Structure 1
Amino acid sequence: MRADSLAGRIVSVLSHRAPAFRSAPSPGTPNRLPARQPMKHLKRPGSGAGAPRAQLANVGLPNASLRGAVLAEANLRGADLRDADLRDADLRGTNLQVANLTSASLEGADLRTADLRDAHLNGCDLRQADLTGADLRNARLPGASLAHANLGGADLREAVLSDTTLHSADLQGANLRNADLQGADLRNACLRTALHAVNLDGADLRGTDLRRHRLTQGKMRGCDLRGADLRCANLAGADLRDANFAGALLWKARFEEADLSGAVFTDIDSGPWEASSHDLLYVSGARWTAATLWPSDLRTLMHARPLSVGVGVWVVHRTAANRLTVEPVSR
């Protein structure tokens, strides 16, 4: 499509929605708007019954200034919005499937129920954005900032959120099945959602409330859980190698069959770890190594004779007498 034809198409779609924008494009107008060109004409007066949706599929608008623009329910499928300024924009219900929003600024944007399936949001600024109910399946958000964003009820299945900042974000009710949160910053995030089968390798979960969460079979190698609240959480079978639980609340947390090789448990809440406590059974079947750092009372039990500690891997074993023993196993 010729550049002037594409520009004319955008104008024709939007002019009936904003009468103040009447000027026709001059010959030779480029198909992409100049960097940070004001785009207030994209605002529409209302979305009453039967109001047409803006059809802007595959449009090229990199570096465009769309701050505060109203594009609710517009069709921006496959649009090129790299480095665009969409701060405080109204994108409710907007179709942004496969759109390229790399490094775009969407701080404070309203993206409720937006369709962002397979969208590219690498390095995107989504701080304080409202993504309630948004569809982000298979979306790519590595390095994006979602601090204080609302992702309540969002669908993030198979989404890539590696190295993403989700500090203090609200993920209540979000679907994160098979999402990749490797290296993500989830400090103080609201995670009242299922985290089963989520990749949290290297994630920063310091101070996060994970009470009663099901993290079974989770990938949490090298995860930073210092000061996290894991009371009654289920981490059975999880890969927790080199995870740091220092200062965490672990009352009745379950670690059966988990891999605790090199994990740090210093200064944790001592309630469930008393050597005489029945709760020690919650670590039955767990594996650990000489590099695993236990709290003092549990360390005494683990290292007591006739249990030998040396090079290798050990497993906490429950005996018929309902007592715990430690046996060396081969790698």
Structure 2
Amino acid sequence: MPMCLNSMLEKEKLRFTRGDFEKSLSQDQTSFQSIDITGVDLSGLDFTECSFEECRFSESRLTNLSCEGATFKSCRALKCDFSYGDFSEARFDNCNLSLSVWRGAYLSAASFTDCKLTGANFGEARTLGVQFSKSTLSNAFLRKMNFRKYELEEVDFSGADLADCDFRDAVLYRCRLDDAHMSTTRFAGADLREADLGDLSFSSAANFKGAIISKDQATELLRGLGLKVF
């Protein structure tokens, strides 16, 4: 029964085209719910302070959008291209954004909560003040992103490319860093006591120079060096 109900709900989503959006926006409509926009090219449209709930954007082209202050709740946007759009102060809650592309996008003060961003590409994105909470960023491309003095809660960075990222003085609570690529990543002053650092070895420990770790993590590090701890 649950599977049948889900199928019925999916069929009820209203299919929208670019023309439908242009007409709605010209009539000052700012709220969209249960809309299917899969594969549609909406590049360049202005969705400033619009809200989207339970909409599907998968594989859509949303480049150069104006989405300042927009909200996205329970939306599905797999493989969606958000490149070079303005998402300043936008909010994403409980969205599946896996394999999405944010190249060159403006994400100043944007927030992602309970979101799935597996394999997302944030290359060259402007991310000053962006917030991630209780979200999955495994295998994501996050090079050179600044998390300095951030408080990150339950963020999964496993397997992510964190090269040249700045985590100095940040607090990572119940975050995962196992198997992440951390070449020249800075952690000085970062509190990693509640983070999952994966299998610590002498080579991987160098990535966490200056960070604060727990006694248990220190013990694991010593064991990784082949030392016996009593």
Q: Please list the CA deviations of residues 213-268 of structure 1 after superposition, one character each: whole Å capped at 9, or x if unmatched.
A: 3322221112233442222434244xxxxxxxxxxxxxxxxx4344356x5835x6
- Once the two structures are aligned, what percentage of the paired residues are identical? 18
* Gap runs ≥5 in structure 1: 1-51, 238-254, 287-315, 324-331
Among 156, 163, 168, the alignment partner of 1:206 is: 168
Q: CA deviation at 1:111?
A: 0.8
State which of 185, 191, 194 in structure 2 corresponds to 1:229. Answer: 191
Q: From 167, 182, 204, give the equivalent of 1:259.
A: 204
Letter in 2 for 1:157: T
Over 3 Å counting, the alpha-carbon distance change for 1:76 and 1:233 in structure 2 is closer
Q: Please name the residue that 2:43 is paired with.
A: 82
CA separation in 2, counterparts of 1:172 and 1:65?
Answer: 31
Q: Which structure carries more strand by proportion? A: 2
Q: CA deviation at 1:119?
A: 0.8
C-alpha separation between the residues in 2 aligned to 1:264 and 1:97? Answer: 37
Give 1:130 deviation, angstroms: 1.9
AA aligned opposite 2:180: G
Instruction: Looking at secondary structure, tell me which structure has more helix per residue.
Output: 2
Relative contact order, higher structure (CA 8 A, sep 6+): 2
Aligned: 1:175 with 2:122: no
1:58–1:77 CA contact under 8 A, matched in 2 = no
Cα deviations across residues 86-128 of structure 1 (Å, max 9, x unaligned)?
A: 1111211222121211121111112101121111001222222
Q: Deviations over 1:179-212 (max 9, x none)?
A: 2222223342534222222221222333322144
Q: TM-score, normalised by structure 1?
A: 0.55
Cα-Cα RMSD: 3.4
2:221 alignment counterpart:
283
2:155 to 189, 193, 203: 193
Please tell me whether the aligned partners of residues 122 and 140 of structure 1 are also in contact (alpha carbons under 8 angstroms).
Answer: yes
Q: Which residue of 82, 88, 91 maps to 1:130?
A: 91
Partner letter of residue 119 of structure 1? C
1:73 to 34, 37, 49: 34
Residues 129 and 88 (structure 1), Cα distance of their counterparts in 2 relative to 1, 3 Å cut? same
Question: Using the alignment, how far apart are the partners of 1:163 and 1:70 within structure 2?
Answer: 30
Question: In 1, Cα distance between the equivalents of 2:61 and 2:217?
Answer: 50
SS class of match (1:190) = strand
Change (3 A) 1:176 1:122: same
The 8 Å contact of residues 188 and 208 in structure 2, kept in 1 or not, is answered as no
Number of the residue aligned with 2:54: 93
Contact 1:102 1:124 in 2 (8 A): yes
The answer to whether residue 15 in structure 2 is matched with residue 55 in structure 1 is yes
In terms of mean alpha carbon deviation, does 117-126 or 226-235 score higher? 226-235
* Unpaired stretches in structure 2, ≥5 consecutive residues: 1-11
Q: TM-score, normalised by structure 2?
A: 0.75
